[in-house]
Amino acid sequence: MTPEDSFRQLGLAMPPPPKAAGLYKPLLEKDGLAYFSGHLPVLPDGSMILGRLGESLGVEEGATAARQVGLNVLATVRDVLGSLNRVERVVKLLGMVNATPEFVQHPQVINGCSELFRDVWGNDLGVGVRSAYGVSGLPAGASVEIEGVLALSQ
């Protein structure tokens, strides 16, 4: 089953690809890798999942935000590369969680994106290396931001 088939089977709607909010490329293809810039939990209506984990949001709400970030990454991949099938595997994710100093469940939040990618590319190819940590703030008060690297099929 291809990644596009897996995505359809999940029954999810692909959001519109997010537009760059500054001077950067959302995705850059170089030497067989696709580097994607930090994506935020922008919803299809243009609003965003805002808040701080450990203050106004819990782990489940944070994981939902991270899953939305993952959907936005998929939209960017499809928009720039033409198809999710161009991705051979997930290489690395870096997840930043807008959190209070006491909040320590950053990995559980970023799992929302990691689980989506696993479901699209499979257990072996959809899971790469990953870091997740808390930050004191993110653009526009976003709850989560994720960037990463994907390997492309030749």
Q: Determine, yes or no, domain membership for 146.
A: yes
CB within 8 Å of 100: residues ≥ 6 apart: 52, 53, 54, 55, 134
Domain of residue 145, residue span: 36-152
Q: Which of 83, 89, 86, 98 is nearest to 146 (CA)?
A: 98
The dihedrals phi and psi of 101, each to the nearest 5 degrees, come to -60, -25
Please tell me the total count of domains within the chain.
1
Q: Determine, yes or no, domain membership for 2.
A: no
Q: Determine, yes or no, domain membership for 92.
A: yes
Q: Determine, yes or no, domain membership for 26.
A: no
**What average pLDDT does the structure give for the chain?**
97
Q: Determine, yes or no, domain membership for 19.
A: no
Q: Determine, yes or no, domain membership for 5.
A: no
Q: Determine, yes or no, domain membership for 1.
A: no
pLDDT at 84: 98
pLDDT for residue 134 is more than 80: yes
Please work out, in degrees rounded to the nearest 5, the angle formed at the alpha carbon of residue 76 by the alpha carbons of 72 and 79: 135
Q: Determine, yes or no, domain membership for 123.
A: yes
CATH number at residue 101: 3.30.1330.40
**Structure confidence by residue, pLDDT tens digits, 20-75:** 989 999 999 999 999 999 999 999 999 999 999 999 999 999 999 999 999 999 99
pLDDT tier at 154 (50, 70, 90 boundaries)? confident
